[in-house]
Structure 1
Amino acid sequence: MNTDSSTFTKQEDGGNVWLSQNNVQTSDLTDHGIQPTVLDNEAEVGKAMLNELLETAASKEGDINIALLGGRGAQQMHRLLGELAKTSEQDELFGRLNVFTQDALAPMSMNNCFSFVRDFERILGPDFFKKVKSFTPMQTDKEDLEAGLIEYLNKLEALGGLDIFFIGHGPEENQASHLAYIKPFSGAQSTHVAGLIPISSSILEHHISKFKAGGSIVNEQDEEECRSAGYILTLGPAAILQAKKVVQSVVDADSAPAKVQTYANVLNTKLSTAPEELLGQLNANPGLWIRLHPNTKSFVLPSLGL
């Protein structure tokens, strides 16, 4: 596996470590807005997300590279994919899929029950993983987390980048939000493809409670290790902006009511046309990065009150 770090520049901001690809032009920061699609229930959101994948498969030849969304947002799509994998109906599609994760807690053993990988295995099922062309998680158990992240990024780049970035919307303090795990005031810029973010106890509590509520089989030893994690590995704004398509889902405003206001802020905030002021807005509320992508779908439920 290629672990060459010479194609990346490292920047640090308040304990946050960001990686930028050398010789990559700065992304266009045009505000494209969001036009959310309100669907009746999670099952309909799952079908809509799957249809976006099927449309991409029909519109291109060769491999399809996707970033899976963890948590509740994509569980219905994952269940649909798992059911399809038990049949031969979409074997041609699965044989073209290169699947990547988009964030992870670290350091933590890869078989920890609080890892997104274990949750993906639980819902997608063994047939899915047998049939996809490749599955590349962020490595959370390496002694050198940064080197592991570069290894991951080199593979993603070699395959041509993401065709679909399946993404969620996470609420933050002060009615802000995160994408992947790009945190407010972490210094993320448009050239940053991935980062290592110091983790807070509140994020750990949210992560653990989310897994327990989602039906994961957990144990005390894994929970103790999870609580000792010090970082979040995450894809950055450049990975979002360079993806060919971004597909967002927001389905849990009933259990996370803060999303009602934080999503509304992403929809309605007036973005500045002054570059420095715009970067300040994006740093304070990273959920806004999604508005700078020209090909975004946002599937939501009526519980957001739109």
Structure 2
Amino acid sequence: MNNTHSKFTRDVDNENIWLSQKSEQEFNVTDYGLKPTVLGSEAEVGQAMLQELYNTAQSKEGDINIALLGGRGAQELHRLLGELAQSSEQDQLLGRLNVFTQDALAPLGMANSFSFVRDFERILGEAFFKKIKSFTPMQTDTQDIESALIAYLSKLEDLGGLDIFFIGHGPEENQASHLAYIKPFSGAQPQHIAGIIPISSSILEHHISKFKAGGSLANESDEKECRSAEYILTLGPAAILQAKKIVQSVVDADSAPAKVKTYAKVLNTTLSSNKEEALQQLNANPGLWIRLHPNTKSFVLPNLGL
């Protein structure tokens, strides 16, 4: 990996590589809490997420930059967008979209059926990708993953950052959780815009089972390649905090029951007003980062037990 990039600084924490940009802004621990909206079905969650996109389109002019959520959480939104792309009803809106992925396994062929890119293509459909302004995935089929990630981040910065960060909630041990793939004890700091994290066999198993359950057209060759992935590429806390709006969805507590307790912990934890103590809490349970954003919607189903 290339270690010399003037635009970004590079921190290493126990083999986790984090990239950040120089900023004069001081980290401010302001806990806005989390106020979940409980909806009756996954279809309603998808409609609510789409409405947030419509709201952003009405409140600003020009391009709209979004980070797609992989896995189950946004599949209904993606189906709705795919259906809209089949008609001309929202062509003007689709033509304003700069679409980014938010995490990825690497190294992995971009055409692998276990890649988020292929899953997005499957659900959103060919018409969607023809009509949007741009699609920028994290490149996972290169020898220099770090340089490719920096090129991705540079494009995101040049376009003005994310208008909407569509995000999920992943369960971790000890009732902790991850956002994007910011893992517990990976050393993520407020200034870190993206990271490259060593992967574990348990994450790979979760990823593969999640894709199979979601209807991915898997084959033995793709699964073997996926199991050889070494890293997770992920957007970091700075990307969350700098996004203009966070839209979270948690819809799969039936198949991932650990989310009942891990979401409740994010909801009910008291974040310390002491900066150093708060950073320790965030490192232990990265799901808490969402509570530091002032413009967050969290759409959930009744199966979270709220």
> TM range, normalised to the smaller chain?
over 0.9
Summarize the alignment of residues 82-93 of structure 1 with structure 2, pairs less than 5 Å apart: 82-93=82-93
Moved over 4 A (4+): none
SS of residue matched to 2:19: strand
What is the match of residue 215 of structure 1? 215
**1:140 and 1:57 mapped to 2: Cα distance?**
31
Summarize the alignment of residues 291-302 of structure 1 with structure 2, pairs less than 5 Å apart: 291-302=291-302
Alignment length (residue pairs): 303
Give the letter aligned to residue 86 of structure 1. Answer: Q
What is the match of residue 278 of structure 1? 278
Give the letter aligned to residue 299 of structure 1. Answer: F
**2:237 and 2:5 mapped to 1: Cα distance?**
19
**2:77 and 2:23 mapped to 1: Cα distance?**
36
Structure 1: unaligned runs, 5 residues or longer: none
Contact 2:29 2:273 in 1 (8 A): no
Summarize the alignment of residues 72-221 of structure 1 with structure 2, pairs less than 5 Å apart: 72-221=72-221
**2:85 and 2:133 mapped to 1: Cα distance?**
13
**2:58 and 2:170 mapped to 1: Cα distance?**
31
Contact 1:39 1:45 in 2 (8 A): yes
What is the match of residue 16 of structure 1? 16
**2:282 and 2:233 mapped to 1: Cα distance?**
19
Alpha carbon RMSD of aligned pairs, Å?
0.8
State the TM-score, normalized to the length of structure 1: 0.98
Percent identity of paired positions between Structure 1 and Structure 2: 78
**What displacement does 1:27 show?**
4.0
SS of residue matched to 2:223: helix
**What displacement does 1:199 show?**
0.4
Structure 2: unaligned runs, 5 residues or longer: none
Contact 1:192 1:238 in 2 (8 A): yes
**What displacement does 1:24 show?**
5.1
Check if 1:45 corresponds to 2:28: no
SS of residue matched to 2:232: strand
What is the match of residue 69 of structure 1? 69
**1:141 and 1:217 mapped to 2: Cα distance?**
20
**What displacement does 1:137 show?**
0.2
SS of residue matched to 1:109: coil
**2:150 and 2:177 mapped to 1: Cα distance?**
26
